[in-house]
Amino acid sequence: MNIILGITGSISAYKSVEIMRLFQKNNHRVCVILTKAAQKLITPLTFATFAPGRVYTGMFAENQDPLLHINLSRDNDLLLIAPASANMIGKMANGIADDLLSTTFIAFYKRVVIAPAMNSYMLENKAVVENLSRLKSRGAAVIEPEAGSLACSTEGRGRLPAAEKIYEFCLKLENA
């Protein structure tokens, strides 16, 4: 399976390296799209070390295919956004395509998996709840966040599930 791993500006972005490596270990090809916010939390170099030539950070990078979002859509089987921030979920639910990840999502016509990760107050906000519901009604699969200790030193639902759980969720969808 060929996978696009989209990484957004959630503190749990560091867990995405483990997700990528787990898919690679099991012979899946992974390319990575990091949003600008994600790059504030983890660097492209971290991913490029394990996926050379398959890490993308923007729409208009020098010497980059101007139709990258279309070609990524055509060449991959699954779009996994882990972690998915409230911002990216809102963009996706409302058809906003203003960066490489959201534009790739709009062009993607195959299986989409969203793994929200954020503070429980944000996750329970009516706008986020409605946006996730809208995405589910359009066919996106959502991996429910886990409860536990959050980055803000509180307890609640909003943690990104373990890499193994995300991997197994995606395999079950692919084999369904």
> In the prediction, which pLDDT does 144 show?
92
Predicted local confidence at residue 171, as pLDDT: 93
- What per-residue string of b and e applies to 20-48 under the rule 16 or more CB within 10 Å gives b? bebbeeeebebbbbbbebbeebbebebbe
Tokens of 25: 């270990």
User: Do residues 20 and 47 lie in contact, with contact meaning Cβ atoms separated by under 8 Å?
Assistant: yes
Which CATH number is 2-141's, of 3.40.50.720, 1.25.40.10, 3.20.20.140, 3.40.50.1950? 3.40.50.1950
Domain boundaries, the chain: 2-141
Token pair for 116: 């929200």
Would you state the pLDDT for residue 159? 79
* 152 in catalytic set: yes
Q: How many Cα atoms occupy the beta-carbon half-sphere of 12 within 13 Å?
A: 24
Q: Give the DSSP H or E segment for 147.
A: strand 146-149
Q: Which DSSP string do the residues of 9-33 spell out, in sequence order? A: S-GGGGGHHHHHHHHHHTT-EEEEE
Q: pLDDT under 70 in the chain at which residues?
A: 61-64, 148, 150-152, 156
What residues contact 70, with CB distance under 8 A and at least 6 apart? 107
- pLDDT score, position 7: 97
Q: Of 26, 148, 152, 154, which one is the catalytic site residue? A: 152
Question: The whole model's pTM is what?
Answer: 0.93
What pLDDT score was predicted for residue 170?
95
Q: What is the pLDDT of residue 134?
A: 97
- In whole angstroms, give the CA distance from residue 150 to residue 141: 23
Total residues belonging to the chain: 176
Cα distances from 27 to residues 50, 102, 161, 164, in angstroms, run 13, 26, 21, 15
> Using CA atoms, how far apart are residues 97 and 59, in angstroms rounded to an integer?
11
